[in-house]
Amino acid sequence: MRPVTIDARAVDEAAARLAGVVTRTPLQLNERLSAATGASIWLKREDLQPVRSYKIRGAYNLISQLDDTQRASGVVCASAGNHGQGVAFACARLGIHGRIFVPATTPRQKRARILALGEGRVDLAVTGDTYDDAAAAAWVESGLTGATVVPAFDDARTIVGQGTVAKEIVEQFGRAPDVVIAPVGGGGMIAGCLAYLAERHPDTRVVGAEPAGAASMATALAAGGPVELPHLDTFVDGAAVRRAGDLTYQVVDRHRPSLYPVPEGRICSEMLALYQTEGIVTEPAGALAAAVIGLYQPEPGQDVVVIVSGGNNDVSRYAEIVERSLVYEGRKHYFLVNFPQEPGALRRFLDEVLGPDDDITHFEYVKRSNRETGPALVGIELGDPASFGDLLMKMDASPITFEVVASDSPFYRFLV
């Protein structure tokens, strides 16, 4: 087998290999985002793949090319959840045994789906707290057993498999769109799209969206090569990678797409908008590309394709998603308040400080008999984010003393 190069021809070959295996997912005009921008915003619904993410493309493209000896030895991979589902699907379809390592942050829903899609041909191992911990364990396992490692992003076969999304978009449009917006974790999707579009449709602009708390690719570009992030926010679990891939970095560095860091709270707001307006269930990484709209402003009249990369969200996470969204939008605030320990203190606070559309959503009070005041942790949801200044002025004018719990405070992590 000739070495796989990361180019448009390899993407074409991968697309032929995947024919009849992956779903040609819909390309849907989104009226909400289009109205907000003046451009035509199209959603490429990779959340509708059999494994509910695009990861099936790269995983199947790689595993299907293994020879008989490699198939007999099985495969191993590390995954935050979606890649593992793609590997599991391929193992079941091709009759190969797989062992899949996931970090402890992987939602239970994704773990259960990995095992279900594997149809008895995969084992699951929960290892470490991050994708990178799981990846290290997968390489150790490969050394011990001879199993082939199936990288989530840093392999030419994986990259060109993911790049078939770009080829499919062009075929569905009948021409190349003006802009393609891709989510960025380790870089497999954006590298595959760049390799295909830069060669076949160089006028199409590729934009990357990274989680602000896990911007490994932008960090690599600034450093001149992949480096480990000193701090990693794992909330966007499908794109929280401490170090960008070596191969993916080379492709991204060659083409230099625009990369935007997207705050996690903004991603949550977009997840809720997609669910409430369009009825689309996404995971945080799945809404990442759509959430960059507004940070990246397309030109009016342009055709812009946003890749909705995955829909494997655990319903138990929605409370946190709503909380992060409210905080990001300035609707939710926390305070440490010292109330006078006297009858009617809370009633006066409600009547004199809160606005008519404001609501107390969190209240923890500690009464101490030997003090004149009692501390309380108070969460307030505002009817209008712009009224925050008025709330602070009313609190200043009241007899209470208070302290705002800043969102960058270590204490804040116990609340959100």
CA distance 206 to 200: 13
CA distance 353 to 339: 13
Q: Per the residue annotation, which of 64, 309, 325, 332 is the catalytic one?
A: 309
In one-letter notation, the amino acid at residue 240 is: A
40 flagged as catalytic? no
Tokens 């602009």, residue located? 205
367 flagged as catalytic? no
Q: Are 91 and 107 contacting, i.e. CB atoms less than 8 angstroms apart?
A: no
Q: Per the residue annotation, which of 55, 110, 167, 332 is the catalytic one?
A: 55
Strand partners, 400: none
CA distance 360 to 369: 25
- SS3 track for 11-41: HHHHHHHHCCCCCCCCEEECHHHHHHHCCEE
Residue 220: enclosing H or E segment and its boundaries? helix 216-223
In a 3-state reduction of DSSP, which class is residue 341?
A: coil
Instruction: List, in order, residues 6 or more apart from 311 with CB less than 8 Å away.
Output: 47, 48, 52, 53, 280, 281, 282, 283, 286
CA distance 80 to 75: 17
Q: Are 192 and 280 contacting, i.e. CB atoms less than 8 angstroms apart?
A: no
Give the N- to C-terminal CA distance of the chain in Å, as an integer. Answer: 51
Q: What are phi and psi of 62, to 5 degrees?
A: -70, -50
The residues assigned a catalytic role are 55, 309
